[in-house]
Amino acid sequence: MALSIRKTVLTVLLFGLMCAVSSHVLELDERFLEVHKEAPWLVEFYAPWCGHCKKLEPTFHQVSLSLRNTPVKVGKLDCTRFSSVASEFGVKGFPTIKFFNGENIYTHKGDRSKEDILEFVNRAKGPAVRNLASKGKFDEANNQHKDSAFFLYLGRQDPVDDMFSKYSNVAEQMLIQSYFYAANPTVLPNNIKPAVVPTVLAFKDQEVVEYQAPDGIVTMSSLQDWVNSERFPAFPLVTGANINDIAESGKIMVIMVYNDEDSKSKTDSERIKDMLKLLATQHKDRFHRGFQFLWMSDIETVNSIAMSFMKGPVLMMLNPTTHYYYIPSTPVAEITVQELMQYLEDVRDEKVPALGGTGFFQRLKRIFYDLIVMVVGVWQSSRWLFLLMFGLPTTVISVVCYSLCCMDTVDDLPESDDENSDEEHEVLPHAQQESADTEQQSAVPGHEKSE
């Protein structure tokens, strides 16, 4: 009895907790079109039948709890009921997470973990350029981004200043992709001495990289290209969700897929990982401009690129501009540092045969590959769903085909007696006619032939 009461109380408490959590996420409708500019909004666009949306639901509730004491409002919108609203904001897939800040609308492209979504909100709510007023503030920002990268403008923060104006515009355009700060040169440690002031510095991998204007002329395009090429660490850990963000840098991506399923594969993975980290950090003069090194544990991303079913560890070079990829012919377990360096230079100089691309046969191959992956995924997730989706239709089609192929053919109906009689009453020769008459008379009773 006591155990039953405890279970009841626990159930009530859990239900109350769920209700309290869910109350922070507002259900939106078409009226959101009228109010989305009035306050900062974090909105999930979802569909009730979407499995990824259901998986995201508890995480999104946790995000809403973390934002409950901030000006940011959290809501979700059912795109199956309010498709016009989803269309207005360019929603093309589910789930889609967007942040609304006045006239500005930003779309989350990273992982859907609580930490990544909160990081996205922190960037999107701005400001685009954050001021560091003291050395303490600089140390705080440096510690906050020790595993990532951030940018710092040094100089007079005057909108009239040409370089600061261009820096601010780049920060506005790349707000959700990185952090941008501004400060006076006095906030820097004594060991950091920029060549000129004003200037822009990139802090990453415990190093400082200074912007060098081409021909000494600062342009917005060159500054944006430089920021785009420096906004990632030398050898970051990425996932399938944010690899597209790295692809925007335009560099050839050197992807290493880590595998720790067994001891031998783990040893090979560690060796390749250390090798790539060495090239990324110690040979920047040769590879930093054209290559972005990264590693990941998601083998499915690499298999999707190559449309194959490889097992890790895997080493792949991907050109995001042409969609060509390269895989060394030397096995991962045997490749050396010198061989890898030479291979990278051959890839850069287009001396290595490329795979993939966007041709007709590649698109056709993509259709078949996606179909196979879908079938295998359904089979692994649910045998009953697989039988319902593929087994039942296949059985019905087989029965119909069998019935059509094995059905007896229907012969032509026999001709009528009148037609047969007409055909039989043909004109016969005289001798045959007399013989026929004689046989007919003998066949009739009472008409026997006399001798």
Rounded CA-CA distance 76/303 in Å is 33
- On whether residue 450 sits in a domain, the answer given is no
One domain, residues 195 and 145: yes
Q: What is the pLDDT of residue 365?
A: 87
Q: What is the pLDDT of residue 249?
A: 86
- On whether residue 118 sits in a domain, the answer given is yes
Is the preceding omega at residue 40 within 30 degrees of 0, hence cis? no
- On whether residue 37 sits in a domain, the answer given is yes
Q: What is the pLDDT of residue 408?
A: 58
Q: What is the pLDDT of residue 439?
A: 47
One domain, residues 257 and 331: yes
Q: Which of 148, 141, 135 is nearest to 190 (CA)?
A: 135
Phi, psi at 156, each rounded to 5°: -75, 125
Tokens linked to 380: 């692994």
Q: Which of 124, 153, 170 is the last residue of a domain?
A: 124
- Chunked into runs of 10 residues, the chain (451 residues) has average pLDDT values of 47 43 78 93 94 92 94 95 94 94 91 92 93 94 92 90 93 93 94 92 94 90 93 90 85 90 80 93 92 91 90 91 93 92 94 90 86 75 69 78 70 50 46 46 43 33
Counting Cβ atoms within 10 Å, is residue 254 exposed (0-12), middle (13-18) or buried (19+)? Answer: buried
Q: Which of 230, 260, 294 is the last residue of a domain?
A: 230
Of the listed 50, 79, 405, 406, which one is catalytic? 50
Q: What is the pLDDT of residue 30?
A: 94
One domain, residues 159 and 202: yes
What is the DSSP secondary-structure string of 288-318?
Answer: TTTEEEEEES-HHHHHHHHTS---SSEEEEE
Tokens linked to 55: 């998986």
- Region of 348 (left: φ > 0; alpha: ψ -120 to 50; beta: rest) is alpha
Instruction: Give the strand order in the sheet containing 252-257.
Output: 291-296, 252-257, 314-319, 324-326, 355-356
User: Is 401 part of the annotated catalytic residue set?
Assistant: no
One domain, residues 24 and 112: yes
Q: What is the pLDDT of residue 6?
A: 52
One domain, residues 93 and 119: yes
Count the domains in the chain: 4
307 touches 355 (CB < 8 A): no
Rounded CA-CA distance 229/364 in Å is 33
One domain, residues 159 and 208: yes
- Region of 307 (left: φ > 0; alpha: ψ -120 to 50; beta: rest) is left
What is the DSSP secondary-structure string of 163-209?
Answer: HHHHHHHHHHHTTTTSEEEEE-GGGS-TT---SSSSEEEEEETTEEE
Pairing of strands 26-28, 73-78: parallel
User: Is 50 part of the annotated catalytic residue set?
Assistant: yes
Amino acid at 281: T
Q: Which of 71, 105, 124 is the last residue of a domain?
A: 124
One domain, residues 375 and 354: no
Q: Which of 326, 301, 309, 325 is nearest to 242 (CA)?
A: 301
Q: What is the pLDDT of residue 393?
A: 77
Of the listed 19, 53, 79, 405, which one is catalytic? 53
Q: What is the pLDDT of residue 386?
A: 65
Q: What is the pLDDT of residue 332?
A: 87
One domain, residues 272 and 290: yes
- On whether residue 201 sits in a domain, the answer given is yes
Q: What is the pLDDT of residue 147?
A: 86
203 touches 262 (CB < 8 A): no
- CA neighbours within 13 Å on the CB side: how many for 395? 7
- On whether residue 438 sits in a domain, the answer given is no
Q: What is the pLDDT of residue 263?
A: 72
Pairing of strands 150-154, 179-183: parallel
- On whether residue 406 sits in a domain, the answer given is no
One domain, residues 100 and 73: yes
One domain, residues 154 and 201: yes
- On whether residue 75 sits in a domain, the answer given is yes
Residues paired with residue 96 on neighbouring β-strands, in sequence order: 45
Q: Residue 302 sits in which domain range?
A: 243-358
Q: Which of the 8 DSSP states describes residue 73?
A: E
- On whether residue 444 sits in a domain, the answer given is no
One domain, residues 158 and 212: yes
pTM, whole model, 2 decimals? Answer: 0.75
CATH number, domain with residue 276: 3.40.30.10
One domain, residues 224 and 257: no
Q: 300 vs 26, 44, 221, 356, CA distance in Å?
A: 35, 26, 35, 16
Q: 197 vs 155, 161, 217, 221, 287, CA distance in Å?
A: 6, 12, 14, 20, 28
